[in-house]
Amino acid sequence: MTAKQADHLRGWIEAQGGRIREQIRQGGSSGARVLAITSGKGGVGKTTLAVNLALDLVLKGERVILLDADLGLANVNILLGIEPRHTLWDVVEGSRGLADIVEPGPYGLKLVPGASGLAALARLDPPTLDALVSGFRELDRACDWLIADTGAGIAPGVLAFSLAADAVLVVTQPEPTALTDAYGLIKALWAEGYTGAVQLVVNRVRNERQGLEVAGRLKELARRALGVEVTPVGVVRDDPAVHHALMRQAAFIDHQPPGPAAQDIHRLGDQLLGRARPAGGGGIRGFMARMFDRYRALAAEDVPSSGEGG
Ligand SMILES: Nc1ncnc2c1ncn2[C@@H]1O[C@H](COP(=O)(O)OP(=O)(O)OP(=O)(O)O)[C@@H](O)[C@H]1O
Ligand SMILES: [Mg+2]
């Protein structure tokens, strides 16, 4: 970062008053609910579910921001046919405000494009990071939910988003490989002392019964082996409409009449809306502050595999 950029951010933090990080840590501020959508194994349907679930919530009257946090292969924008003009990096550089990088999606959904260069962001000095985090205040006021679509696996640049979220929605498929990796991810959250909600969605199931059976097994294993309470929140059936929608760069929940996967997403949305609001998460600012802290700690612990972490 250049001296000019650093000055810009320092000016910003002075304007914000400085004490924000402390307020966030104490959980004093309210704001959006933050849900991280993640998986152990890649390609299980995280991005597909994140986009369609976000739209389902919007259609139910919620104000939703979808954060493309898959730093390696950001592709929420591809699924929605949106070409983002700016990223979080432009905000750090001072050329854009946060409000400028938000892209409008269907029905009023808001998209925040991937924060590529997370490692570089996490290396910023604490006052500069505080300034960046405090800037999320405006987004907190503008939304009820932040849904973060993350990458797969347990590298620091992935795990940090989950560890910082109010709730983690683990996506798996019924195959043993996907289940083993889902368990590995839950174990990694547990090992890092994650205390938020762990929710489970089994995607691409043949029928509801298969999904519930698989979810039950994983729940039982996590409870027995780790003492972690996993909450199955839904199953999504395998549905060719998902692929057809992808080819049109459209959401499958828009398809008329709604296919099995769309019906399942509607149920999942209702399920999430019915859950209690987590207390003291500090909204998006709390999430971002924790995410940077977690990322730094994990990257320091895990030098060989951390790389850029995105
Ligand atoms: N319920 C479903 N029925 C049919 N196909 C599905 C379903 N869910 C996802 N898919 C398909 O699975 C593929 C992978 O989906 P997606 O890109 O959402 O996975 P991902 O977990 O985000 O992958 P990555 O780990 O690479 O980010 C896509 O081709 C998508 O259309
Ligand atoms: Mg994805």
How far is the centre of ligand 2, averaged over its atoms, from the C-alpha of 306 (Å)? 20
**pLDDT of res. 133:** 83
* pLDDT tens digits along 250-272: 888 888 889 999 999 999 999 99
Closest CA to 157 of 11, 296, 12, 13: 296
What percent of the chain clears pLDDT 90, i.e. is strictly above it? 51
**Is residue 64 classed as helix, strand or coil in its secondary structure?**
strand
**pLDDT of res. 119:** 67
**pLDDT of res. 28:** 41
Give the atom of ligand 1 at the shortest distance from the alpha carbon of 50: 18
**Is residue 234 classed as helix, strand or coil in its secondary structure?**
strand
Q: Does domain 16-303 have CATH number 3.40.980.10?
A: no
CB 68 within 8 A of CB 199: no
Least confident of 14-18, 79-83, 279-283: 14-18
Report the first-to-last Cα separation within the chain, whole angstroms.
18
Which residues make Cβ contacts (< 8 Å) with residue 172, sequence separation at least 6? 39, 40, 41, 44, 178, 179, 181, 182, 200, 201, 202, 203, 214, 218
Section 48-72 average pLDDT: 91
Residue 26 CB-half CA count within 13 A = 7
Ligand nearest 248 Cα, by number? 1
* pLDDT tens digits along 167-225: 999 999 999 999 999 999 999 999 999 999 999 999 999 999 999 999 999 999 999 99
Q: Is 73 in the pocket of ligand 1 (CB under 6 A)?
A: yes
Mutate to test the pocket of ligand 1, among 41, 44, 47, 48 (most ligand atoms within 8 A of CB): 48
* pLDDT tier for residue 304 given thresholds of 50, 70 and 90: low
What percent of the chain clears pLDDT 70, i.e. is strictly above it? 85
86 pLDDT above the threshold of 50: yes
Question: Between 293 and 57, whose confidence is greater?
Answer: 57
* pLDDT tens digits along 37-53: 999 999 999 999 999 99
Which residues make Cβ contacts (< 8 Å) with residue 127, sequence separation at least 6? 9, 10, 13
**pLDDT of res. 88:** 74
Section 241-253 average pLDDT: 87
Q: Which residue is closest in CA terms to ligand 1's atom 31?
A: 243
Section 117-144 average pLDDT: 80
Q: Is 46 in the pocket of ligand 1 (CB under 6 A)?
A: yes
248 pLDDT above the threshold of 90: no
Q: How far is it, in rounded angstroms, from Cα 124 to Cα 26?
A: 23
Give the atom of ligand 1 at the shortest distance from the alpha carbon of 44: 21
Q: How far is it, in rounded angstroms, from Cα 101 to Cα 83?
A: 11
Q: How far is it, in rounded angstroms, from Cα 101 to Cα 89?
A: 10
Does 150 show up as a binding residue in the annotation?
no
**pLDDT of res. 63:** 96
